Structure 1
Amino acid sequence: MTKKRLFFIGIAGLILVFLWPLLNNFIPLIKEWTNAKHDQAFLREVFKQANFQNALILLSLMILSSAIPGVSSSIFCIFVGLLYGPLLAIPMNIIGNTFGNLTSFEILRRLEKPEKSKRMEKLLNYIENFKHRFIGISLAFSIPFIPSALVNYACVQMNLPTRTRILATLIGVTPVSIVYAVSGDLLLNIRPIRMPLVAVLAILLFISLVIYFIHFRKEKNEFHSNN
């Protein structure tokens, strides 16, 4: 059995260990949440059952889901926002996503490096087009449709300094972490004062997308001109 297969079996075991108490605590709450007969006041009372143990379990699940390629932590981030509100959910989401991606990097660094795919080449070229690769990495992490595992593979290929990589990861995951936290809170607490925050973050994400496509198009044009 290969090291890679053993690693994924171990990760699956850890997920089951953390997931079991989470299901016992949260399945009744989710059932109440999906019941349209209940009003918002009732749901707020139900979700006040959140405690430190549940927070630790959710944080662990966020880290695990961020560390595993192909798994998204967004559902846990939104659920944390719903349970704890933005003041607690924002730092929890940032911590979970940051440590999850750092864990993913360490795992990928120890595995055999895969051959560079076309998608990987495009991402590496996109990042290297920036004067500072730190900015490219941060933007790549902030764009939801770019898999974080792919960005971590890119970090492995580029051999970035540890401090630069950690800071780029932290800054990159912050916008989406805030959006998920506020979005989860807004599911039960529709407050006009928070809508501008969501709008500002949405604009920042849009700007990230625009910058990404501008650099991608520039790279494509340079490729065609060289040929």
Structure 2
Amino acid sequence: MAERKESVEVLCSECNTAFRLWLPQAFVPVDSTGVRINCVKCGARYLITKEGKSFKAKKAEGAAAAPAKKQAAAAAPSTAEEAAPPAAFTETILMIEDDKVARAMAENQLRDAGIKTLAAKNSTEALHLLKKNTVDLIVTDLHLKNANDPESQLDGEELLKRIVDSGVNVPAIITTGKDVLDDLILDPKWFELHVKGFIQKGNPFWVEELKMKIKEVLFKE
């Protein structure tokens, strides 16, 4: 059985980046010590504590200036050539994520890495974008259905099946914040849906893992 997880949202006061974590209840101790995490972008430190059955995030006391910023300043390039942005990928990624915070977080970081990204919040938007654009890789959350969104008619698995049945043959990556990956990976149905990897969104560096998986899949294809 998958371990119960709760989400916690963090808005970094250092770099104004919003991100969300999905944490197992047992991961955070009941006492006030909590667990320390870092901002996914600038490295600023935050303390996650448990309040009843939910989590609360606050700036860690005595936290030094964000380490990522210090490193960036120390490693500032000295020439215009070194300061050039990362080379853009020629491939296009279609990302489907119903969570607004997670979608913006992933979209911004992928584009900062030079990865051309089309973003959709539900299956209807995704299919519309797929008709109008040539896509080389699909990244979709597993749980997309939302009773409050009339255009959210398919979850991630159903969306991939619809795409495959339409004759579109592109690799896919599944993201999830609710499932245990070991329970998913062993199911042979993902092979038929061209799924090449799974990303667990329950850790603060899941977008970094996603970027590496995207590069791995595109270079192998």
Q: TM (normalized to structure 2)? A: 0.24
Q: If each structure's helix is expressed as a fraction of its own residues, which one has the higher value?
A: 1
TM-score by length of 1: 0.24
Compare relative contact order (CA 8 Å, sep 6+) and give the higher one, 1 or 2: 1
